[in-house]
Amino acid sequence: MNILLLGYGKMGQLIGQLAESRGHSIAGKITINNRDELNSMDSATIDVAIEFSQPEAAVENIKWAIERGIPIISGTTGWLDQKPEIEQLTLANDGVFFYASNYSIGVNIFFKVNEFLAKLMNETVGYTSAIEEIHHTTKLDAPSGTAITLAEGIIKNITELNAWELSEGTNGNEHSLPITSKRIDPAPGTHIIRYSSEIDDIEITHTAHSRQGFALGAILVAEWIQGKKGVLSMDDFLSF
């Protein structure tokens, strides 16, 4: 495959290295400093675009690819209020758009475990729920997209919860799920789901040891997405 990298920070660089090690080629490495190179790029030579940029650049990057018929995979978080617009654009252009807050296979299994546990806890009295996430200090958005996905999985399955809130560890609203965000180097990403009662605590944790799992997951999706159409997610890829 010929892969266009939209965003060439730490994740983009790792994706590029792993993609080439798997026999793929890199069509371009686009950052805020050389975005004008897109104007002269031949979209017909690009098999897929992988977008890990910044929240303020993500929407325009994704639109650029969709409007040119290039399948695009995005892992940028912090812009999801505009995701419905992107999904409509994808369908209107008969394109393909794949989004995940986290491309790690392990994290996506964790998402399923999280939902299963939430269903069990919904039938259990006396527990309060909370999320804690820890990332490196260069991560700009808080809470993380992964924490938001986890929160949505809990809220969907616990009837007394109807929203999440960024918190310092105390729940100001009994119907809101608190998320505590910490930024500590060099943590690639830790997510803790905690249910607490007077009797005991129940916790499940996912800890990433490096970014490699995220990068490899994005490349595997890029290989899988060829020939697909529509708005897709990790559920489609993993077929849970």
To the query of whether residue 24 is one of the catalytic residues in this protein, the response is: no
Q: Helix, strand, or coil here: 183?
A: strand
Residues 171 and 198 in one domain: yes
β-sheet with 72-74: strand ranges across: 25-30, 2-6, 48-51, 72-74, 96-99, 230-232
Mean pLDDT of the chain: 94
Domain with residue 38: its CATH number is 3.40.50.720
| Catalytic residue of the set 139, 156, 182, 209 | 139
Residues 95 and 112 in one domain: no
* Model pTM score: 0.81
Residue 227 pLDDT greater than 70, yes or no: yes
Residues 123 and 81 in one domain: no
Q: What is the pLDDT of residue 170?
A: 52
Residues 195 and 123 in one domain: yes
Residues 38 and 129 in one domain: no
Burial of 224 (0-12, 13-18, 19+ CB in 10 A): middle
Q: Structurally, how many domains does the chain consist of?
A: 2
Residues 167 and 85 in one domain: no
Q: What is the pLDDT of residue 171?
A: 55
Residues 131 and 143 in one domain: yes
Residues 119 and 187 in one domain: yes
Residues 59 and 18 in one domain: yes
Residue 102 DSSP symbol: -
Residues 69 and 154 in one domain: no
Of the candidates 140, 129, 150, the one whose C-alpha atom is nearest the C-alpha of residue 203 is 129
Alpha-carbon distance 76 to 226, whole Å? 21
Residues 32 and 94 in one domain: yes
Domain extent for 201: 105-207
Residues 99 and 109 in one domain: no
pLDDT category, 174, cuts 50, 70, 90?
Answer: confident
Residue 81 pLDDT greater than 90, yes or no: yes
To the query of whether residue 139 is one of the catalytic residues in this protein, the response is: yes
